[in-house]
């Protein structure tokens, strides 16, 4: 499993869930030290979790990250992309997805999950529209291949543990066929006091 822009609590919670299910996870971030510190703690418990430098605005960084993918985890059967947090990362994110998706199509299985920046409280102008266009393109590309494309969105920040559980389930549930997952965050200011937010799927 590969997680991009993996420096947020949501990314760490997702990695924890996937690792607990026995998946090898590589987290990519422009600031990988925090990710490596986190990954080291999980590895000490027997998990197969790693971190590597990935700047989606820098083509050489993407190429180096792809080499890390081959070396550390081999074939990728799931990609979680947080593209959209920074507008300049869009082209790089699409290039990375293209490189990682080809083997999935060859193997007849895999998942690509796009994350809305709203999950961590960020919402750059036009992001949702760009994500919707991207997911539609992936849907068309994946018809009949066995590869699934999904998007997890939110209108506001969601507790990291809840978001991580939902994102991981989108990949690990073999009978999950939802293209769009909308998370409705609690309206209260203190999300920690509200419990699990209600999820609407369509």
The domains of the chain are located at: 2-201
When pLDDT is averaged across residues 91-99 and rounded to a whole number, the result is: 90
Q: Which CATH superfamily is domain 2-201 in?
A: NAD(P)-binding Rossmann-like Domain (3.40.50.720)
DSSP state of 155: S
| pLDDT over threshold 50, residue 190 | no
d(CA 147, CA 164): 21
Q: Cα-atom radius of gyration of the chain, to the nearest Å? A: 16
pLDDT at 66: 96
When pLDDT is averaged across residues 157-184 and rounded to a whole number, the result is: 77
Percent of the chain residues past pLDDT 90, beyond the cut = 35
* Signed CA dihedral, 202, 112, 52, 94: sign only: negative
Question: What is the full DSSP assignment across 36-62?
Answer: HHHHHHHHTTT--EEEEE--TT-HHHH
Model confidence at 200, in pLDDT bands (50, 70, 90)?
A: very low
pLDDT at 54: 93
When pLDDT is averaged across residues 51-76 and rounded to a whole number, the result is: 93
| pLDDT over threshold 80, residue 39 | yes
When pLDDT is averaged across residues 163-183 and rounded to a whole number, the result is: 76
Instruction: State pTM to two decimals.
Output: 0.83
């Amino acid at each position: 499993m590969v997680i991009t822009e993996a420096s947020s609590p949501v990314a760490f919670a997702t990695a924890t869930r996937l690792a607990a299910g026995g998946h090898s996870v590589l987290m990519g971030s422009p600031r990988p030290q925090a990710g490596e510190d986190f990954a080291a703690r999980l590895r000490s418990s027997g998990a197969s979790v790693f971190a590597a430098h990935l700047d989606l605005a820098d083509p050489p960084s993407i190429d180096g990250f792809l080499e890390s993918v081959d070396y550390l985890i081999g074939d990728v059967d799931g990609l979680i992309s947080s593209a959209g947090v920074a507008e300049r990362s869009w082209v790089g994110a699409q290039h990375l997805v293209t490189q990682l998706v080809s083997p999935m199509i060859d193997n007849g299985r895999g998942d690509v999950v796009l994350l809305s920046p709203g999950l961590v409280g960020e919402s750059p102008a036009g992001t949702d529209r760009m994500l919707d266009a991207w997911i539609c393109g992936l849907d068309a590309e994946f018809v009949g291949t066995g590869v699934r494309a999904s998007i997890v969105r939110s209108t506001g920040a969601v507790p990291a543990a809840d978001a991580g559980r939902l994102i991981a389930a989108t990949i690990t549930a073999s009978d999950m066929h939802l293209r769009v997952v909308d998370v409705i965050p609690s309206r209260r200011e203190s999300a920690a006091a509200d419990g699990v937010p209600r999820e609407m799927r369509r």
